[in-house]
Amino acid sequence: MKKQLTAAFAKALAELGAQGEKTEDLASSLLRIIKEQMVRTIEDLDAVITAAYDLNGWNTRQGRPTVEKRAKVPNTVRTYMWELRSAVKDGVPVWNFKTFYEVRLARKKAKVVAKPVVADDGRVNVLPDLPELDGVRISHGDAPTGSLFHDLILLFVTIPDEQRVLLERNLSRLLHKYQVAAPAVVAPVKRKATG
């Protein structure tokens, strides 16, 4: 390896590490605010997020702004809000934690391990009871079929939790990107949190 490349890469990693710690510390302040303000449901959280986005002049709706020119929500903010909303949806009491790292660990523990389910017709369905798979059924759940979404679901339930979270985040971004062009029929459904 070239020393110049290695030095530049090391410097970039050091800066990323420093920024990452600052970002995590700032994000943890959100958990304190949620605790102090008694935000306990997804509806309360969504209302707070929308009001805060509005106050910051960020786009409060999916897609392009329609009436007034608003700034795009920063990617880091969207990622933390996605993690926070997902944890609340999964029933994780985020107000009991001091760091997002603790929230991530609690969310991981809250996930149910995939258990094969045998349907009436004898076919195996390996889908776990995960909120992300609500209402989804597949046949031939014991092996890939070559069908894009079937195999994507099998991949989703079998990869390690850390990678599943990343895949879910990336799929969510793709969904939001293309929902703008889709009819209202495929608009996201808001679910109530239990907790």
Residue 114 has what pLDDT? 47
* CA 79 – CA 107 distance, rounded (Å): 15
Owner of token pair 């990693």: 13
Residue 97 has what pLDDT? 93
What residues in the chain have per-residue pLDDT under 70?
1-5, 62-68, 111-130, 139-142, 184-195
Task: Report domain extents, the chain.
Answer: 1-110
Q: Which DSSP letter does residue 71 get?
A: B
* CA 111 – CA 129 distance, rounded (Å): 8
What is the secondary structure of 88-130 as a DSSP string?
HHTT--GGG-SSHHHHHHHHHHHSPPP--EE-TTS-EE-----
**CB neighbour list of residue 153: distance below 8 Å, 6 or more residues apart:** 127, 133, 136, 138
Instruction: Please give the model's pTM, rounded to 2 decimal places.
Output: 0.54
Residue 195 has what pLDDT? 46
Q: Which DSSP letter does residue 187 get?
A: P
Q: Which DSSP letter does residue 60 get?
A: -
* pLDDT per position as a tens digit, 132-145: 777 777 766 667 77
**CB neighbour list of residue 16: distance below 8 Å, 6 or more residues apart:** none
